Amino acid sequence: MTLKLYNTLTRKKEVFEPQDASNVRMYVCGPTVYDYAHIGNARPVIVFDVLFRLLRHLYGEDHVTYARNITDVDDKIIARAADEDRAISDLTEETTRQFHDDIRALGVLMPEDVNTPGATPSFIEPKATEHIPQMIAMIECLIASGHAYEAEGHVLFDVTSKDDYGKLARRSLDEMEAGARVEVAPYKKGQMDFVLWKPSLAKQPGWESPWGRGRPGWHIECSAMSEAHLGESFDIHGGGIDLLFPHHENEVAQSECAHGGKPFARYWLHNGFLQVEGEKMSKSLGNFVTVRELLDKGWPGEVIRFAMLKTHYRQPINWTQKGLMDAALELQTFANWTSDEDDEPTSDEPASSIVAALSDDLNTPLAVAELHKLVKTFSPGHSDEVKQKGIEQLRNSLRLIGLGELDGYDANKIASTITYGRDGPQIDEARVGQLIAERTAARKTKDFKKSDEIRDQLAEMGIALKDGPDGTTWEVAR
């Protein structure tokens, strides 16, 4: 199966050819830990989790290395900790824990899920604060090679020292300088030069360095951590499109200059942006949707994940309540088939149509369409053998996109929880049971007038009935 990926570097869909098929390496920019992850933060985590799963499927579980960092030193963190009058490590550790809880609920693979104790880990979650020496070493190397300079306690990268600076974001220095709107710090040689290291006040977190006590600039951590865990040159670098400039451009500049011009990441993947109910998600509009809020409200992680994957990763998403509900109902179609398992699986192979869809630049919406088509191949009137094989393929295919845990899934219950809250409406279950018994009795004597009256009465109480072969069941109407 050929994997094709859209490479931001070339702005084309390309056939993916790893440097070393026995060790495919991917780096993704992770969160800055100072607050709950919002739905926009969750997107790259989910998208690249699917890619990680696909790579493991295509190249073998032992032949993929994935690094997704935690940024735990940053001015936003410093400011938040100061606001809340708490220790920085306290804030970053708690936020990291919350982040892990959230994404685990979204069905995202965690290092402990894939790493074997004692073996080389295939999933690393490096922290910036644990790589300060590597950052300092890289900065020293950049100074020594004439790409960086020290000024007033800062170390800055000289963008004019790299001929092809701007190649990833496709901007020229002239354009950027013409379009710049900010005042330039007086110690900068060029207005686009960016900080590699900056001095820290006594109160701020800092590390001793050749340039005094200070802390790293924003971009250097990813260059240092990817080098430490994936090497100077690796296959895939992922992140949100918003990071393209300046963050990723500057990573390229730092790494390639520190590595004697050796190419940095070979394939750059960027996920699209997200809006909420048609508006930009912003603090000023007060429409930030955190993963935690959605989970607390009663949206299962699988629904959030599925809603995300229904849109191609490069497209913008308009995140809406209706979209979530649609996703919840659609997921029921698959859960209907996968929930009851009795037979031992004979294979863990997903359907080739789903692998093919994912292999075409991670086309998850097409993969979902293929899942529906797969269900149609076995749903009604087929032999048990065909059905069994189909269900197995469906289950394996869902697992490939991280939706393998649908046992007990109940869209109606979800809808009811969302509508009425976790405690639900006040329902007198004994009374409901009594009415249903009365109705059943009426139906037995073919007194359908009375039977329908009772059903109407229950409907007014917010109860919907289902008459099945094994009797009548009820649920909260939505």
Partner RNA sequence: GGCCACGUGGCGGAGUGGUGACGCAGCGGACUGCAAAUCCGUUUACCCCGGUUCGAGUCCGGGCGUGGCCUCCA
CB-side neighbour CA atoms (13 Å) of 12: 5
Question: Does 86 help bind RNA (rule: CB under 7 A)?
Answer: no
Compute how many residues bind RNA; rule: CB under 7 A: 73
Q: Is 423 exposed, middle or buried (0-12, 13-18, 19+ CB in 10 A)?
A: exposed
Q: Does 310 bind RNA (CB under 7 A)?
A: yes
Q: Alpha-carbon distance 476 to 420, whole Å?
A: 9
Among residues 83, 242, 341, 428, the one that binds RNA under rule CB under 7 A:
242
**CB 409 within 8 Å of CB 332:** yes
15 touches RNA (CB under 7 A)? no
Near RNA by CB under 7 A: residue from 98, 379, 388, 419: 379
The nearest distance, CB 376 to RNA, in angstroms, is: 5
Yes or no: say if 311 and 298 are a contact pair by the CB < 8 Å rule.
no
Residue in 72, 143, 451, 476 binding RNA, rule: CB under 7 A: 451
Q: Give the integer Cα–Cα distance in Å for 32 and 404.
A: 29
- Cα separation, 61 vs 278, in Å, equals 39
Query: Which residue number, 11 or 203, has a Cβ lying nearer to RNA?
Result: 11
Would you count residue 283 as binding RNA (CB under 7 A)? yes
Cα separation of the two ends of the chain: 44
Q: Which residue number, 149 or 409, has a Cβ lying nearer to RNA? A: 409
Beta bridge partners of 466: 473
Nearer CB in complex with RNA: 369/432:
369
Judged by CB, which is closer to RNA: 176, or 294?
Answer: 176
**Both structure tokens of 14:** 């390309």
Work out whether 83 is an interface residue with RNA (CB under 7 A): no
Question: Is residue 376 a contact residue for RNA (CB under 7 A)?
Answer: yes
Q: Does 164 bind RNA (CB under 7 A)?
A: no
**Residue closer to RNA (CB basis): 232 or 326:** 326
Please say whether the dihedral angle defined by the alpha carbons of residues 284, 290, 294 and 297, taken in this order, is positive or negative: negative
Q: Which of residues 318-357 bind RNA (CB under 7 A)?
A: 318, 322-323, 326, 329-330, 332-333, 336
Nearest to 339 by CA among 398, 273, 297, 416: 398
Under the binding rule (CB under 7 A), the answer on residue 422 touching RNA is no
**316: contact with RNA by CB under 7 A:** yes
Which residue's CB is nearer to RNA, number 25 or number 216?
216
| Packing angle of the helix pair 352-359, 384-400 (nearest 10 deg) | 20
At 381, is the secondary structure helix, strand, or coil? Answer: coil
Q: Name which position in 179, 286, 408, 471 contacts RNA (CB under 7 A).
A: 179
- Residue 181 makes contact with RNA by CB under 7 A: yes
**Residue 465 CB, nearest distance to RNA (Å)?**
5
Burial class (CB in 10 A: 0-12, 13-18, 19+), 5: buried
Closest contact distance (angstroms) between CB of 253 and RNA is: 15
